[in-house]
Chains A and B, each alone.
Chain A
């Protein structure tokens, strides 16, 4: 089936099988392997991408459902040389260890902070409860997202 979508600002066009899910499409048709697949049944959040600014589980979307939509993956959140404020905050707080869940947390937190730059700790925990991490115990991730709010507040204020 014909698919045309925007991914990280660039147009992607291909003929893809109907059953190809968006996560596999991003990873294998587009070579953007930052989005990770870890459960394929919508529980772990490692595959989270933004579709039209909303965080979604890309393993639960068909690639063809993204036709005409705009997709943002973790690769689209920083340019090659610099870490974004959110990413730098993760690094500062040691909010990652093996790194496999990390892109999913980054995209989810980015979506949350973009929409709710003044969210509190309870809200952050609530939203992040949809992403599984086996290494960090979540404490530093929540700290990192709390600390990163100020960067999103400044953007909002502009």
Chain B
């Protein structure tokens, strides 16, 4: 397919490529960040949300009389009130990969007749303080008739319990990816191996829980909503539509955001309910999610099973992959719920050259919290399946694990390398996608070398001081820079400050700093002379946001375009003043200089009329950062405890705009992946009740768990797809952890002939595997 050729701008760079300290830190470190619960408004009313205590049921009645009598309670709103304002209960649209099949499965913004998961919103209590709202909630009498529960994939697939009335049942949609002729290859291959895998459900567990503050201004009939994140423009359009309001009367304001990892910022029921309450009551309404709510109602992820098969020749060259997965999406398709099952299907082959593929993935609805994307959606999962299978093949064929990877990873002569086409793909510009650039052997070799892989082989599978030692590898790709577009407005007023307004959003990744670095270099000015505003719908007419590791590439390229347009405008204005042709004007560092003599400052040129230009960058092509990780673990057979003794991840990101922050993403992503591989587990019982409802039960990594994490960032192969040469690099650290640790544990237990195929690798589960329980 035709490849756009955009040569990365090669110039002497002052800021880009430099490990600049972040501008955001100045307020965060002093406790001056403004997160949604820090926003100060007058006369704020607080909301507590009554949520379903059971996983599947029919709502018979909601008695609110007692609750309404409690002093300090202002109102209690239910579906009835929503219907009064909107005519019907709005359904949440699907933002990515929508398919009309799912229309009858969409999530209502509030439960009216049926509840489908523990945590589903049923009523809003509006009161003077959060504590009173919670008190009142305890006085509401809820009568729900229990229905049978389908709490797991296998139960849901029988369709004995159906969540929806659609005849398609609990598994209405399937993804497929095909390439070559898998059937033929598998029929004739010298070696095939089939395995089943299971990955557990986890939560994004952002440090800041969700929150929405909505203010209704009756004079102007405008709605202001604070606490926006990730994709404010899309969310604004969805909300305006639900409330039958003009878009420009609904503003979503981005404050500081305490982490997203893909989960915060997707349109939730509360993103309708709180603004709805503000409009209905003509008031300023605030809701701050508590941690228990977070664990029941914020997007969860992973939760899938797979049966996958690899075919190789005798020398270990991969001939094909085939298999089937089931992906548990919880009770409803979320705005981005389809991304993970789709990704798992398209990207199973990862960084390897595989010519024959036949993969399918069924989505399955169950009576659990709805699922969406979580850092490396579908990619973490597919890496685990692929890497474990490859490791098994290496073992069975007697081929060195480094060698089998070296034989199969993509090299420059393979580029661009197409993935299998995914279907269905109704509005999916990346149904066809290809690896853009790189030599995937380089990161493998660098990892093996820096890790001292060969020198450590004598420990492989050995018992030392009562524990087994194991080493494992995982090669990976990281798709990033999702399209379709991003916008960046640049304004220069006579106050002399260059102000950018970009559609990219901050989720803690340092976007303000990175974009400022790019802008400062393009304009040859100081970073401190630039204001970088982002996210809020008040800033631009249209924007996209931060997801799929796109802000540096998409936002950065839009900023670059804006600076180009700005310089054009400066040249034009300067040419009039300096009486020369615009092509004779050079623009830099606050000055416009004519080659014919004379110069004028930018400030003089905007004295009467500010300059405002709109930069934009459009692309449907994903970039592919890539790398390799190596892990050294010990496994204690008496307790099942796994210790990660050493871990190294090497990733080539094309170009690192800020080496400090991209290294931080790699380390942070790795630890999050470790946490998801070894510690975290959202557990529901057969009745769909959450058993891990506190942070004492839902375990995330702490400072003592993974003390040795090493990361190396390479820039050997810039991307040809954007002027920065950068590749999205926020998720790579996470992607490869399951594979690396899984392989290391398998190798540690090699003498026991045990193959871990299911996550998490908790001490109990490892012990059970070792002791045949």
Contacts and interface: CB of A to CB of B under 8 A. Distances in A.
A and B touch in the complex (CB under 8 A): yes
B508 interface: yes
Given A38-B208, A91-B21, A102-B28, A97 B508 contact: yes
Contacts of B25: 90-91, 96, 99
Given A43-B696, A44-B695, A138 B661 contact: no
Nearest to B20: A94
Given A40-B290, A94-B22, A136 B668 contact: yes
A128 B707 CA distance: 12
Contact of A43 (B660, B664, B694, B706): B694
Contact of B21 (A43, A92, A128): A92
A73 B700 CA distance: 26
B86 to A, nearest CB: 33
Count chain B CB atoms within 10 A of each CB in A46, A131, A135 and give the residue with the most: A135
Contacts of A129: 702-704
Nearest to B34: A33
Nearest to B507: A98
Interface string A129-158: 111111111111110000000000000000
A117 interface: no
A74 B205 contact: no
Interface in A69-113: 73-75, 77-78, 83, 87, 90-92, 94, 96-103, 106
B4 interface: no
A78 B37 CA distance: 23
B380 interface: no
Contacts of A75: 30-32
A19 interface: yes
B22 A101 contact: no
A128 B22 CA distance: 23
A17 B35 CA distance: 25
A10 interface: no
A64 to B, nearest CB: 15
Given A41-B291, A100-B208, A135 B38 contact: no
B522 to A, nearest CB: 24
B208 A137 contact: no
A43 B25 CA distance: 24
A62 interface: no
Contacts of B258: 36, 38, 98-100
Interface string A16-43: 0101000000010001111111111101
Contact of A99 (B24, B205, B672): B24
A140 B664 contact: yes
B577 interface: no
B670 interface: yes
A4 interface: no
Contact of A94 (B259, B660, B709): B660
B209 interface: yes
A91 B664 CA distance: 12
A33 B38 contact: yes
Given A38-B207, A99-B258, A137 B696 contact: no
Interface in B149-208: 205-208
B35 A94 contact: no
B109 to A, nearest CB: 26
B671 interface: yes
B700 A132 contact: yes
B96 interface: no
A38 B258 CA distance: 10
A97 B701 CA distance: 16
A125 B259 CA distance: 23
A126 interface: yes
B509 interface: yes
Contacts of B22: 91, 94
Count chain A CB atoms within 10 A of each CB in B25, B38, B510, B706 and give the residue with the most: B25
Interface in B587-636: none
Contact of A140 (B667, B669, B702): B667
A102 B291 CA distance: 18
Interface string B679-716: 00000000000000011100011111011010000000
A101 B703 contact: no
Interface string B256-285: 111101000000000000000000000000
Given A94-B663, A97-B510, A138 B703 contact: yes
Contact of A134 (B35, B40, B207, B257): B207
A97 B256 CA distance: 11
A74 B40 CA distance: 19
Given A128-B703, A135-B259, A137-B706, A106 B668 contact: no
Contacts of B207: 36, 38, 44, 46, 98, 100-101, 132-135
Contacts of B131: 17, 19
Nearest to A43: B695
Nearest to B35: A100
Contacts of B660: 94
B665 to A, nearest CB: 8
B33 A99 contact: yes
Contact of B702 (A90, A97, A98, A132): A132
A127 to B, nearest CB: 8
A134 B257 CA distance: 13
Contact of B208 (A19, A73, A98, A140): A98
A74 B30 contact: yes
Contacts of A36: 35, 207-208, 258
Nearest to B675: A134
Interface string B495-514: 00000000000011110000
Nearest to A138: B703
A130 B40 CA distance: 30
B29 interface: yes
Given A38-B291, A94-B660, A103 B709 contact: no
B259 A100 contact: yes
B709 A137 contact: yes
Given A132-B207, A132-B700, A136-B668, A74 B31 contact: yes
B124 to A, nearest CB: 20
A41 B696 contact: yes
Contact of A73 (B31, B206, B291): B31
Count chain B CB atoms within 10 A of each CB in A27, A41, A73, A78 and give the residue with the most: A41
Contacts of A33: 31, 34-35, 37-38
Nearest to B25: A91
A38 B209 contact: yes
B26 interface: yes
Contacts of A44: 207, 695
Given A19-B131, A91-B25, A99-B508, A134 B31 contact: no
Contacts of B208: 36, 38, 98, 100
Contacts of A35: 31
A17 B694 CA distance: 26
A148 B398 CA distance: 51
Contact of B694 (A41, A91, A99, A101): A41
Contacts of A103: 31
B180 to A, nearest CB: 39
Given A32-B31, A77-B30, 18 more contacts: A19-B131, A33-B38, A34-B31, A38-B291, A39-B695, A75-B31, A78-B30, A83-B30, A91-B25, A97-B259, A98-B206, A98-B508, A125-B703, A134-B700, A137-B669, A138-B707, A139-B667, A140-B667
13 contacts: A31-B40, A33-B38, A39-B694, A40-B290, A41-B694, A41-B695, A99-B28, A100-B35, A100-B206, A101-B207, A132-B702, A136-B668, A139-B667
4 nearest A-B residue pairs (beta carbon): A34-B31, A98-B508, A99-B28, A100-B258
